[in-house]
Amino acid sequence: MKKTLIAPSILSCDFSKAGNEIADISACGADWIHIDVMDGHFVPNITFGAPVMKFFRSYSEKFFDVHLMISDPLFYINDFVKAGADGITFHVECDSDIDATIDEINKNGKMAGLSVKPKTPAEAVFPYLDKIGMVLIMTVEPGFGGQKFMGDMMPKIEAIKAECEKRGIKDMLIQVDGGINADTAALVKKAGADVLVAGSAVFGAEDRKEAIEKLRNA
């Protein structure tokens, strides 16, 4: 069985000391660092862009898992590559050309991920499965941390897994993001998720190391 990867989302960190927060979470056993980029257009919230992210890079050697919740990801891929992204996930609902955006990420040797919002069916990513490394199933409406987990997204995980199996696509990672805590982690793992994103459940915990362990062993 594949190891479950835990990717704490820095959206819930104290941004006045973001570098130290990233170093801390890395020392506490995070596998990946999940970096939420929002443009105030694709989602009703604004975080930061590549010029800010580049300063995070020196605080951790972990895999930087960049989640772009922006309308035109293609325009910014190069900036995020230069700023130190290891994987770049963007939304199938965005305005950019999906194939061109995946190609741009792959061309730079980074892992391309494609995400679906709760109201988008899993089938929307089927045409691209051959050239991406990860599918992100949102388990909340993107935009904010601390929302309630949507359990009815689980069939989407199963649909992606079944389609990959049918087409002989191996090593596809399935990531879930939104409302993941020790309880919901068990559900998503059972459904077949490989990478668990968690913001408030990790950064809000008294003992972050323990919180990460709990998610991994749920």
Between CA 162 and CA 9 the distance in angstroms is: 28
State which of residues 5, 6, 11, 13 lies at the interface with ligand DX5 (CB under 6 A). Answer: 11
Per this entry, what is the length of the chain?
Answer: 218
State which of residues 199, 211, 212, 214 lies at the interface with ligand DX5 (CB under 6 A). Answer: 199
* 73 near ligand DX5, judged by CB under 6 A: no
Phi, psi (degrees; rounded to nearest 5) at 37: -110, 120
Between CA 124 and CA 127 the distance in angstroms is: 7
Q: Rounded to the nearest whole angstrom, what is the least distance from the CB of residue 179 to Zn ion in the complex? A: 11
Q: Rounded to the nearest whole angstrom, what is the least distance from the CB of residue 176 to ligand DX5 in the complex? A: 10
Q: Which does 8 bind (CB under 5 to 8 A by kind): Zn ion, ligand DX5, none?
A: none
Q: Rounded to the nearest whole angstrom, what is the least distance from the CB of residue 147 to ligand DX5 in the complex? A: 5
CA distances from 48 to 37, 67, 78, 92, 179 (A): 6, 12, 16, 21, 22
* 198 near ligand DX5, judged by CB under 6 A: yes
CA distances from 121 to 17, 56, 152 (A): 38, 34, 12
State which of residues 50, 66, 67, 114 lies at the interface with ligand DX5 (CB under 6 A). Answer: 67
Site string for Zn ion, 58-87 (x = CB under 5 A): ---------x--------------------
Kind of pairing between the strands at 134-138 and 173-177: parallel
For tokens 């919230």, what's the residue? 45
Catalytic site includes residue 79: no
Catalytic site includes residue 99: no
CB-CB contact of 137 with 158 (8 Å): no
CB-CB contact of 188 with 176 (8 Å): yes
**In the window 28-57, what residues touch Zn ion (CB under 5 A)?**
36
Phi, psi (degrees; rounded to nearest 5) at 89: -110, 135
Site string for ligand DX5, 131-170 (x = CB under 6 A): ---------x-xx-xxx-----------------------
Can you give the binding site for Zn ion, defined by CB under 5 A?
36, 67, 177
Can you give the binding site for ligand DX5, defined by CB under 6 A?
9, 11-12, 34, 36, 67, 140, 142-143, 145-147, 177-180, 197-201
State the catalytic residues: 36, 177
